[in-house]
Copies of this chain bind each other. A is one copy, B any other.
């Protein structure tokens, strides 16, 4: 059964485009430290991001362990032995450009330093570990996927290893395959899970070590030691290319407002980065909406105000970026949805609208200003648990309708005279499976290579960490960060659960500050930038994204 993509057919280079083939031939750069003799050394003991006492209880074995640095060694280190390793690797969660290169880096480490080792690729995500579904990853197997997008080499999945029964299955697989190590390529949840697995294996006195790798186009898995999650760079560049094109179209045509919804449910990093790359007239950042406790009406009014001011300046067009997760950031929307879920579970929704009496006054007011199509969607489309399906709401279309209504009312007051025409876009799937940028290709390769080195040196419960990313690849540094040091706890069902908190857009951070210092100018003047298609060769091929550079302090 290929229902979950666990057995996607092998790629054949005869089906490669010229660009794919050219990328396949492109060799990957390694940081000098990984290219030459190196050793793994320990840093100082670590703590946790929050509630260290609780994290210590949850990870009695691993808590407090030091992070690791990979540093040059004069002679071959102890780890450079003739040891043969058996290592598994798994892709977890949504696709992100570069995943195949993490695996390539890991394989190349094993080939370079532990000849005769075996790499198992678990198929279809964590379920592959539990069911012991794998493929042996040889160079022949892996080679056609180097520098290629997607996760189809071994596919991914969203299952979690959570219950005691599931942990037992994972142990059985580790024993059966005699695994020395496991590399988990995933986001915040998957890396939390990787650490639980590491703890569990250690506690059971098993030899299997677990190393994580930071993956997500959303860019919300990062910390001081883990400066970026892979895939973010490529995805943002692809979205920004399309946004730039839409901007040129808007300026050429002069009559459309393009509302562009961008992937990124939890954090608005993608939207912010695309804004920094393209300079749209309006950018909505979910974290700011939440911090300012804005209502949907506030957001609508803000957009409408800009449109009216632009009309006074003679511009009847523009581009507006909206994060996919916007409505999750608006408290009143959350409240309305909670009330609707309650009502829908217990009451009949009558045509006459008497059911609405059950809504609180704030929710009723909000419901009444929503476009009819959205009202219907809220009442009709429910998930298997009977809940409103927030994810299905096309926020960009909703905002177009709400702005339209607001402009109509201002027109009646003589405050707006133009004809408003909104065009909606959602850029999502197009970005998360693109061919990785040079940055993501090299970053992922280094992450995978370093993960191999960490496993080989006996480390567990670390996340592969590659730093100094504003320098050329040769100067990048590598190591591993204690996963427990990234953790805090959340109370769920009365129990503490460890979590790596998602890194949200910080309103005091350099990327947001840069944006907020420019947005008024971008709103009124047309400072559009069209990044154009991602280049692999030539002078424009090695730039990385603004967010990373600003966070690293390398871009004014």
Contact = CB atoms under 8 A, between A and B. Distances in A.
Please tell me how many copies of the chain the complex holds: 2
A346 B305 CA distance: 41
B151 A252 contact: yes
Given A23-B532, A255-B4, A149 B238 contact: no
B152 A251 contact: yes
Residue in A9, A23, A254 whose Cβ sees the most chain B Cβ within 10 Å: A254
B534 A533 contact: yes
Contacts of A246: 429-430, 433
Contacts of A435: 530, 532-533
Nearest to A419: B3
Contacts of A253: 5, 95, 156
Contact of A249 (B9, B95, B529, B531): B95
Interface residues of A, number: 74
A429 B253 CA distance: 11
A1 to B, nearest CB: 6
> DSSP class of A's interface residues: helix, strand, loop or mixed?
loop
Nearest to A540: B18
Contacts of A95: 248-249, 252-253
Given A248-B433, A251-B152, A238 B533 contact: yes
B15 A529 contact: yes
Interface in A295-336: 314-317
A261 B283 CA distance: 27
A254 B532 contact: no
Given A22-B539, A149-B248, A258-B429, A533 B530 contact: no
Interface string A428-446: 0111111100000000000
A314 B7 contact: yes
Contacts of A529: 15-17, 20
B20 A532 contact: yes
Contacts of A9: 251, 525-526
Given A2-B316, A418-B3, A19 B248 contact: no
Interface of A: 1-9, 15-20, 22-23, 95, 148-152, 155-156, 238, 241-242, 244-246, 248-249, 251-256, 258, 277, 279, 314-317, 418-419, 423, 425, 429-435, 525-540, 543
Given A149-B248, A245-B429, A533-B533, 14 more contacts: A5-B251, A15-B528, A17-B531, A19-B531, A20-B529, A95-B249, A95-B252, A149-B245, A245-B430, A246-B429, A249-B429, A434-B532, A434-B533, A435-B530
22 contacts: A2-B316, A3-B316, A5-B251, A8-B254, A15-B528, A20-B530, A22-B540, A95-B249, A148-B248, A149-B530, A150-B248, A150-B252, A152-B251, A152-B252, A155-B254, A156-B253, A241-B533, A246-B429, A246-B433, A248-B433, A258-B429, A533-B535
